[in-house]
Amino acid sequence: MSSRGIRTSDRVLIVGQTGKGKTTLARYLAEQLQPIRLIVFDPKAELAYPGVAPARSVPELERAMNAPVVHYVPASLERDELEAACELVWTTRGPYLWHIDEASELTQPGYCPRGLRLCATQGRAQHKLLLVLTQRLAESHPVFRSQSEHIIMFTPPPVELDLKAIAGNVRREARELELALAELHAEYGDYSHLWYVRATDELRRCAPLPLEGATAPAPAVAEAPPTSPHEDAPTTADEQEAQQSAA
């Protein structure tokens, strides 16, 4: 789909504070991967999809599973309901993109619904793409960070506990991640992010996407915002000037 090379069998983990761009990027990635069935688990009931009525029980979810967009808002976060809902998705034929909008609401460090855990560990061959968002990484199940081919960290830097939780999975020290995120935030502000690609052990600096409804415009990158969040962000004023001269 782009220079980042996300495939319809990948796992993508997006980490960041509330309102810093996680859902905007998730929607962007889902659009880039169309046509593919989109299944959204929305435990906080904060998302909306025009023309799509949320399923609010497992039977309603089952009836909606053949639609191109499935929006599920759990009636409760009891384990029985979560297990049934996740098992239903896991046993559905791929390809599909399963978007978990807040992993810490559905999982804990020592618990993950069976179907969701199997999708993370065994779904690749069935083209079941998993896109997991969380603002509380250390409170979510570790299968997401251990299995993800792409790990995206939004600025500003998360709390120290989350940095320590993710450091080993991106083959960096927690302090190195903190400094990189702080520098990126100082240069480009909110909505910028680091993108780790496991296949190449690459940690890319990504400029912000323009955010709909933001109270302030996203910081400028060179002369215009990037056309894709996957492009490298210039790192210094000298590099920006060199790029402009070359153009």
pTM: 0.83
Question: Residues 73-113: pLDDT tens digits?
Answer: 999 999 999 999 999 999 999 999 999 999 999 999 999 99
All domains in the chain, ordered by first residue = 11-246 (3.40.50.300)
* Lowest mean pLDDT segment, chosen from 21-30, 55-64, 165-174: 21-30
CB-neighbour burial class of residue 121 (10 A; exposed 0-12, middle 13-18, buried 19+)? middle
Q: DSSP labels for 188-202?
A: H-TT-EEEEETTTTE
